[in-house]
Amino acid sequence: MGQLTLHPFDPSVLFLLSGPREIGKTTFLKFMLEQTEGQRITRAGVISPAVFANGQKIGIDLTEVKTGITKRLANRREARIEGILTGRWTFIPEVMEWGNQILAASTPCDLLFVDELGPIELERGEGWQNGVHALSSNMYQIAIAVIRPELIEKATSLWPSARQVAITQKNGTEYSKLSCEILSNLK
């Protein structure tokens, strides 16, 4: 009996989605999920929606694209020093690992979401390394990775053929145009 061999999609297209903090990058990814709902497209990966209370961003959730299961990923950093830390956030190690497991099993797929790769992954070499590997695998038709503007240069050194796209405003018209541009790459 033969062994199943997975082959990269030819061609796969990676989009590096960037823009200022809280401009709507994850909102755009949610829009993309809605646009592809019910289509014969395999969707995988993770998105990281912000959690607000009284108009203030207090946390970040992690949602698995395939199932919609959501868990709290990070809380605003306080004086206590436990978990995986950045300047503003304390990440919950168990949920980071859960996200890494999701990303390890996310390919092959038609449409891959990795929201987001930040300093933990691109500067420290920690965090969602399975997301980095999934993006490098080309085992998708289209991948969208959210990258902070200050890390775009690092990301383009890892994926020189990636296409850079920027969210400049929270706007349904911009989301529709960008979504059509990205989805036109599906075969």
Sequence spans of domains, the chain? 13-48+62-70+107-183
Query: Residue with structure tokens 């695998």?
Result: 137
- CATH match for 13-48+62-70+107-183 among 3.20.20, 3.40.50, 1.10.3470, 3.10.350: 3.40.50
**Hunting for tokens 């019910």 — which residue is that?**
38
Mean pLDDT computed over 67-72: 97
What are the start-end ranges of the E strands in 3-156? 13-18, 43-47, 50-53, 56-64, 70-76, 84-85, 89-91, 109-117, 140-147
Tokens, residue 185:
């790459």
The pTM assigned to this predicted structure is 0.89
Q: DSSP secondary structure string, 134-184? A: HHHHT-EEEEEEEE-GGGHHHHHHH-TTPEEEE--S--HHHHHHHHHHHHT
Q: What are 102-154's pLDDT values in tens digits?
A: 999 999 999 999 999 998 899 989 889 999 999 999 999 999 999 999 999 99
Grade residue 75 by pLDDT with cuts at 50, 70 and 90. confident
